[in-house]
Amino acid sequence: MKPALKIWIDGALVPASDAKVSVYDHGLLYGDGVFEGIRVYGGRIFKMKSHLERLWESAERIRLKPVYTPGEIERAMRETVSANGLKDAYIRLVITRGAGTLGLHPFRCPKPCTIVIADTIQLYPAELYERGMRVIVANRPRIPIACLDPAIKSLNYLNNILAKIEAIDADVLEAIMLNIDGEVSECTGDNIFCVAKGRILTPPESAGMLHGITRRFVIDTLGPALGIPVEERSMRLEDLYSADEVFLTGTAAEIIGVSAIGGRTIGSGGVGPVTKSLIAEFRSRVSKSAPED
């Protein structure tokens, strides 16, 4: 039998069945907290520094002060991965506001709750990486920056979940979300790119999106390594429909090609050559020695 998963919670490793949060935790009551999803490849925590920086930024934006230092969280992650005998893993790192009173007041929660889960993750089915994935366009717009900046990776994911339900209802696994001005922003759990006229294009952060770490890796490292220019440029749906290739990026998805958007075939309807090269470059880099910076 598989031994019970060990979870790190507030400084201690405990069996999953003992890892509990209070019913008064504002993470549960109000989605008041922040999180990260992080991959471990061959024992190396991919882009650990970037994930910790993003977590600290998200925490600061909601005025949550982490109990532990980034160094302590790093140790907790390594300890949790190794306690579970994992070499390739998915880490869910969560900081909730903590237990407080009923009522919104966040500063009546004296101590945030810190959780590290190390488990495996189900990627999209392997054959979709070969054939490409069908997606839809959600009717629901991405929440505007002025309301709740999507750059904050908060526990409040209902905007994404409602768009994900639109995707599931349409029998696909991901939905493209537009901002309230009709520009492409991102997907429910992935960032989006297209390839046109030999360039890799992706919407700018100002469109309102999570500043994805895989997205940044494509822009700063993979595109340049392949000698393909990358540009952040505002785009509308027509730009995606007429693109040669469309692909998505995310911690869970890595890089995956899009074959059709809402019944419109993209390019030749498979996975295009640039997307294939990016996937190969990504896999080669994480399997050799995944960067932890």
**Where do contacts with ligand PXG occur on this chain (CB under 6 A)?**
37, 160, 186, 189-191, 210, 212-215, 249-252
Residue 224 tokens read as 């340049």
Percent composition of the chain: helix, strand, coil (DSSP 3-state, to 5)? 35, 25, 40
At 51, give phi and psi (nearest 5°): -65, -40
3-class secondary structure, 283: helix
- Whether 47 sits among the annotated catalytic residues: the reply is no
Catalytic residue among 6, 47, 153, 164: 153
Closer residue to ligand PXG in complex, CB, 8/282: 282
Minimum CB separation of residue 39 from ligand PXG in Å reads 8
Closer residue to ligand PXG in complex, CB, 128/213: 213
Q: How far apart are CA 143 and CA 126, in angstroms?
A: 31
Q: How many Cβ atoms from other residues are within 10 Å of residue 118's Cβ?
A: 26
Minimum CB separation of residue 107 from ligand PXG in Å reads 27
Q: How far apart are CA 162 and CA 157, in angstroms?
A: 9
Minimum CB separation of residue 59 from ligand PXG in Å reads 16
Q: Is 287 left (phi over 0), alpha (psi -120 to 50) or beta?
A: alpha
Minimum CB separation of residue 233 from ligand PXG in Å reads 18
Closer residue to ligand PXG in complex, CB, 223/250: 250
Closer residue to ligand PXG in complex, CB, 156/214: 214
Active site residue ranges:
153
